[in-house]
Amino acid sequence: MKQGKPQERGPIVVVQWLEVEWDKSARGAEAATIRNQLPKALPLSEVELEADIKLVLHYLRNGYSSGKTGAISQHRNLTLDHLSEIEIKLLETQIQVVPHPRKTGMGRYRRTISTGQWSRFVWNERIVYEGTWAYKQITVNIAYLPEFTPTVFLDQEPSEIWSELVRLY
């Protein structure tokens, strides 16, 4: 029986979503100093990737009321259904990223990322909950890599940083 060539994976999209949320009680200078010291990138866990995986998502949420949660997931296609604030399109040799944060003009911004590069997107917002409100800052690191590298966001600087931090009142 003739054995075929192993299937080549092709480039993989790696998304690291870091989210920090705080409420009115944590608006002061002391809490802001602590928040500002949080890393903008973290190492990813080693994962075994199946041949047809196209996307690795690392999601970490840290909030004063919610505690710390984090997960790594693998996706065979480029859908980020539960992260509707960012759109990723696979082109021939690049990916196109279009952020859609709720209350900013960032949706007009498109960034093309070539193989071996990564970019960072940062924005913040005020969220109204029933009877109260909170603030959120989101940092999204997105890489398009020939192979999965757990330290990609620490080993090199992003090719571009796009930041839309509004004054939160």
Residues of the chain with pLDDT under 50: 1-6, 65-67
Predicted pLDDT at 120:
94
Predicted pLDDT at 103:
54
Separation between Cα atoms, residue 58 and residue 70, nearest integer Å? 7
Predicted pLDDT at 101:
65
55-63 and 12-23 beta bridge pairing: parallel
Q: Is 151 left (phi over 0), alpha (psi -120 to 50) or beta?
A: alpha
Predicted pLDDT at 4:
46
Residue 44: which residues within 8 A CB-CB, separation 6 or more?
Answer: 14, 16, 56, 58, 72, 148, 150, 151, 152, 153
Averaged pLDDT of the chain: 77
132-145 and 12-23 beta bridge pairing: antiparallel
- Per-residue pLDDT of 115-156, as tens digits, reads 999 999 998 888 888 888 888 888 999 999 998 888 999 999
Domain spans, the chain: 12-39+50-164
Nearest partner of 89 among 112, 117, 58, 116, judged by Cα: 112
- How would you list the strands of the sheet with 94-99, edge to edge? 86-90, 94-99, 111-114
Separation between Cα atoms, residue 159 and residue 115, nearest integer Å? 11
